[in-house]
Structure 1
Amino acid sequence: MAVPARARRTARRSRRFELRATALYFALLAVILALVGAAARTAAAAAVHRPAWAVALALVGVGTVMAGCRGRRRISAARIARRAALALDEATQTAVEALDTASPAPAVGLVPAAAGTCGCLGTDPAVLLPETVPETPLDTVEIAYEALDPDEFEQAVAELCRRDGCLDVDVVGGAGDLGADVVARTPDGRSVVIQCKRYCDGNRVGSQDLQRFGGTCFTVHGADVAVVVTTSDFTAPALDYAEQCGIVCVDGPQLRRWQEDAGPRPWEAQPSAA
């Protein structure tokens, strides 16, 4: 008697736990999560600095989700890649235009170049060159002598002598100077002795000041030219005494003309010129 053969029950093998496969799985998962986090941070930074790119990426993501939700329609990876490339291209052009309009180049003052100008720009009069502001010479800078202290005033007078070609210029003012504040030698070799009086407008140089200076400038210092320079003015008796002794008096306005190189130097002026 034949015994019907039993249908063999195919036993499903249980998947064994493998440490190596599990470790590899979690390692790959960690890499994917790290990449996703980096992409998220990059997207956040791009959203702050490049809003157009962020909008383009968002549109690509929305398009991908909508394509996945369309029934059983097969997703074309090539079509999505083409759309993403076009969106990125448009976003790049938009970002470049936004940067060009947001940060204009600084304006530079331009003046026409003179005909015959030499150099790499040629001689075309239509060529524009950067405008330059002429510098003011140091010698023409106005100095407020009234605001200086006595020592600074003596130094300023000494600088005027150096500017006009005097040699051996020295500031000797101080205790025991016997009336000499600045000594120098003119370009033609004469000895100049200068007394500096930095006075206010209401305080004029009197005859006693001239007499004290006149008693030492020639006999003690051996001056060829004796000069009294003040920021204010001289009294009439002082000017009379200076004329008798041959002392050159330089008041405030004359000092200003000397500084502006618009008047004679003290050693070129006549004594007691007021």
Structure 2
Amino acid sequence: MARRRGWRRRRNRRLAVVGVALLAAVVVAFWSRIWPFVLAAVGLVGVGALVWWGWRTHRELRRKDAIFRAEQRVLENNRTLDQVDKLSGEDFEKMVAELFRRGGCTKVMRVGGRGDRGVDVTGVLPDGRSMVVQCKRFAPRRPVRSEDMQRMLGSRTDFGADVAIFVTNTRFTDDAERYAKDNEIIAIGRNLFATWLKGATVESLIQTGGGGQGGRRHLKAWQQTYGKPGRTRRKKPAS
């Protein structure tokens, strides 16, 4: 019994070796016929992938170039605060994005729109800090209140940004200015925005920071034109 079992094992091994050899011979013979087609298929897949990647890259570059040119047109065509006051909210965001880009900021993107989580522009400041920006284009008589900027804190956390910046074409109420200072929000108001249009650097605006209100002279001039922040002028009764 033992001899018979040993003979069967040796026979099975020989059969296994023969089977493997036959299988290898079949694969080699088969491969010699189909390998040109396999290589051709692999080459076509590679060329297709390269074409697809080039198309995607070209489309993305064109999209970014279109955004850049649109923002640049808005900036070039609106060099005064009176012109800025007439912009749509979207065009105001484009202008702010282009101003940051011209100021040396990188990775600047306008993300405003539905579901923007309170952020209109993102990017990286010249000193390397990441930023989130909220833009508000109001009528000049309408000041920014503290409730207008309360979402900035959550937005800064959501985006993991180092700096939160609030940009507007109008002024901030006293409460809004205090809120900005207490929560380390850089607020760029009407007067600072005017200097930005005239060529002030991003660094100087951030250093001026605070509520972004400008000096007392600016505040007085604004109040003479629009009334005190947060209040509306009462018309005198007709005599």
TM-score norm. by structure 2 comes to 0.52
The match for 2:126 is: 187
Matched residue count: 136
On the 8 A contact 1:140/1:260 being kept in 2, the answer is no
Structure 1 residue 141, shift from structure 2 partner: 7.2
On the 8 A contact 1:246/1:272 being kept in 2, the answer is no
Task: State whether structure 2 residue 176 is matched by structure 1 residue 220.
Answer: no
The match for 2:192 is: 254
Write the distance in 2 (CA, Å) between the matches of 1:151 and 1:142: 17
Root-mean-square deviation (CA, aligned residues, Å) is 2.1
Q: Which amino acid aligns with 1:259?
A: L
Taking structure 1 as reference, are residues 268 and 184 closer, same or farther at Cα in structure 2, changes over 3 Å only? farther
Write the distance in 1 (CA, Å) between the matches of 2:163 and 2:138: 22
Which structure would you say has the larger Rg? Answer: 1
TM-score norm. by structure 1 comes to 0.46
Taking structure 1 as reference, are residues 255 and 187 closer, same or farther at Cα in structure 2, changes over 3 Å only? same
Structure with bigger helix share is: 2
Write the distance in 1 (CA, Å) between the matches of 2:210 and 2:178: 11
| Identity score, percent | 38
Structure 1 residue 261, shift from structure 2 partner: 1.6
On the 8 A contact 1:192/1:267 being kept in 2, the answer is no
Contiguous gaps of at least 5 residues in structure 2: 1-74, 214-239
Segments of 4+ moved more than 6 angstroms: 138-141
On the 8 A contact 1:242/1:271 being kept in 2, the answer is yes
Taking structure 1 as reference, are residues 156 and 179 closer, same or farther at Cα in structure 2, changes over 3 Å only? same
Contiguous gaps of at least 5 residues in structure 1: 1-137
Taking structure 1 as reference, are residues 264 and 174 closer, same or farther at Cα in structure 2, changes over 3 Å only? closer
On the 8 A contact 2:97/2:121 being kept in 1, the answer is yes
RCO higher in structure (CA 8 A, sep ≥6):
2
Of the candidates 90, 106, 109, which is equivalent to residue 151 of structure 1?
90
Structure 1 residue 272, shift from structure 2 partner: 3.2
- Per-residue CA deviation, residues 119-174 of structure 1 (Å, 9 max, x unaligned), is xxxxxxxxxxxxxxxxxxx9797242111100000000011011111110100001
Structure 1 residue 224, shift from structure 2 partner: 1.3
Of the candidates 77, 91, 112, which is equivalent to residue 173 of structure 1?
112
Task: State whether structure 2 residue 145 is matched by structure 1 residue 206.
Answer: yes
